[in-house]
Structure 1
Amino acid sequence: MTVMFHSAVAARQGLSATESDKRRVLIEIRREKLADLAGIFEDWKREVDELCEEFTVDELETVIRFLQGATERRRRATARLAE
């Protein structure tokens, strides 16, 4: 889901990946599109703000703690794969 969202944002901003040497991807930014970037995220931010209002601070702190734990485990798993 995250990849799909960010791919859609990239497409709207005219961002593209071009193959450079079969090992790297070069991201090309169209600077004239940067000003529009905030507007693309406004709708999503508004909806996330509305969602957060449905939870108490304690509930949100639990979600944050879970996401931090999941992120740390993903990093460790990624490091193990690189060994």
Structure 2
Amino acid sequence: MTKGDEKPGEAARAEVLGQLMEVGRAHSAVTVMFHSAVAAKQGLNATEEKTLDYLQRKGPLTAKDLAELTGLAPASVTGLLDRLESKGFVRRVKHPTDKRRVVVELNQEKLAELAGFFEDWARDIVEACEEFSTEELRTVVRFLSVMSERQHAAATRLTR
């Protein structure tokens, strides 16, 4: 089908998909830069900062759990955890039910130092959401959930 053969709905969808790709790229770039800036304030890199986010949201995890969540190779996770432990953000402790295993838990006091960097941004998010209806926000949540799953799978493929 040539461009002239497209139905009006198809052309509009193609245009919106193109815009979505451009906006998605821009959003991705500013997200990485924001998290890099927050991380740098604490002597971290963006991967370290986001790993702390996983631990905060999911609770204590094994290195294997973190490898699966981050899509990083196990050896990379070991180095990552070594760095986070040496900086005082995490500690390795015996698993609560299987003493042969180790879990990584957050140092909550050290993590609290990062919280202030997100307070202004959280207010900005709440303010920005005021211009969207609840249904529109539900659509955004659904879209971001699907995109997160797809991007996690893509990251995992890249590390295999």
Task: Tell me, yes or no, if the aligned pair for 1:14 and 1:29 is still in contact at 8 Å.
Answer: no
- List per-residue Cα deviations over 1:6-31 (Å, max 9, x = no partner): 221122234467xxxxx534232467
Q: Summarize the Cα distance change of 1:39–1:80 in structure 2 as closer, same or farther, 3 Å threshold.
A: closer
Is it true that 1:72 corresponds to 2:149 in the alignment?
Answer: yes
C-alpha RMSD of the superposition: 2.7
Q: What residue is the counterpart of 1:4 in the other structure?
A: 33
Is it true that 1:59 corresponds to 2:88 in the alignment?
Answer: no
The count of corresponding residues between Structure 1 and Structure 2 is 79
Is it true that 1:38 corresponds to 2:115 in the alignment?
Answer: yes
Q: Which has the larger radius of gyration?
A: 2
Q: Summarize the Cα distance change of 1:36–1:77 in structure 2 as closer, same or farther, 3 Å threshold.
A: closer
Q: Residue 140 of structure 2 aligns to which amino acid in structure 1?
A: V
Q: Summarize the Cα distance change of 1:76–1:37 in structure 2 as closer, same or farther, 3 Å threshold.
A: closer
Q: Residue 12 of structure 1 aligns to which amino acid in structure 2?
A: K
Is it true that 1:48 corresponds to 2:77 in the alignment?
Answer: no
Q: How many angstroms does 1:3 deviate by?
A: 2.3
- List per-residue Cα deviations over 1:36-61 (Å, max 9, x = no partner): 32221111011000001110000000
Q: Summarize the Cα distance change of 1:13–1:61 in structure 2 as closer, same or farther, 3 Å threshold.
A: same
Give the structure-1-normalised TM-score.
Answer: 0.70
> 30-39 or 63-72: which moved more?
30-39
Structure 1 residue ranges (4+ consecutive) displaced by more than 4 angstroms after TM superposition:
30-33
Q: Summarize the Cα distance change of 1:33–1:78 in structure 2 as closer, same or farther, 3 Å threshold.
A: closer
Q: Distance in 2 between matches of 1:46 and 1:8?
A: 18
> 1-10 or 61-70: which moved more?
1-10
Q: Distance in 2 between matches of 1:36 and 1:79?
A: 30
What stretches of structure 2 of length at least 5 have no aligned partner? 1-29, 49-75, 90-106
